[in-house]
């Protein structure tokens, strides 16, 4: 049984990934509207095959530290809409802070696991939002499917 782990990093530029069997099978960096529309369609397709679990990790924007003077309505709105989509389709959505995701899933892990995205792979000037979305997908994996996350760590760091 394949579990699909989605990660969403909201903002004016929103990143999204889907990881299955420890590989990225979908990645996109676009406007929130484009991402949410594609996410809705993907969730509907998964709904046709309920034997495959879907878990979604998404960024919950918290205004604290240096970010407390930053206003990011797109990030907050995207988080609310991801939660709504997940509920409508019957999937678990796990809100996460950016700090938790970056602490648990550093760049070195994304690279070692073969989950790092280059700008050229998505046709953008950077892939920051896609890589942050991958962090959220892996954090929901760590929180809800720890044995699968452990397997990813072992594969990534085997000598």
CB atoms within 10 A of CB 59: 30
Tell me the helices (H) and strands (E) count for the chain, helix number first.
Answer: 7, 5
What does pTM read for this prediction? 0.92
Q: Are 9 and 22 in contact (CB under 8 A)?
A: no
Check residue 123 and report its DSSP letter: T
Structural domain boundaries in the chain: 4-157
- The CATH code belonging to domain 4-157 is 3.30.420
| pLDDT tens figures, 24-83 | 999 999 999 999 999 999 999 987 767 789 999 999 976 666 555 566 788 899 999 999
What is the model's pLDDT at position 69?
54
């Amino acid at each position: 049984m394949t579990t699909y782990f989605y990660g969403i990093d909201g903002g004016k530029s929103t990143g999204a990934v889907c990881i299955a069997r420890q590989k990225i099978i979908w990645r996109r960096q676009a406007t929130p509207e484009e991402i949410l529309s594609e996410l809705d369609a993907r969730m509907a397709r998964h709904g046709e095959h309920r034997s495959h679990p879907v878990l979604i990790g998404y960024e919950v924007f918290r205004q604290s530290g240096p970010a407390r003077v930053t206003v990011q309505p797109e990030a907050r709105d995207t988080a609310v809409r991801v939660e709504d989509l997940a509920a409508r389709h019957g999937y678990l959505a796990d809100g996460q802070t950016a700090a938790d995701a970056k602490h648990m899933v550093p760049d070195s892990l994304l690279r070692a696991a073969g989950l790092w995205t280059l700008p050229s792979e998505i046709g953008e000037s950077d892939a920051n939002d896609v890589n942050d979305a991958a962090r959220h997908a892996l954090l929901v994996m760590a929180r809800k499917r720890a044995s699968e996350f452990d397997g990813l760590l072992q594969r990534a760091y085997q000598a």
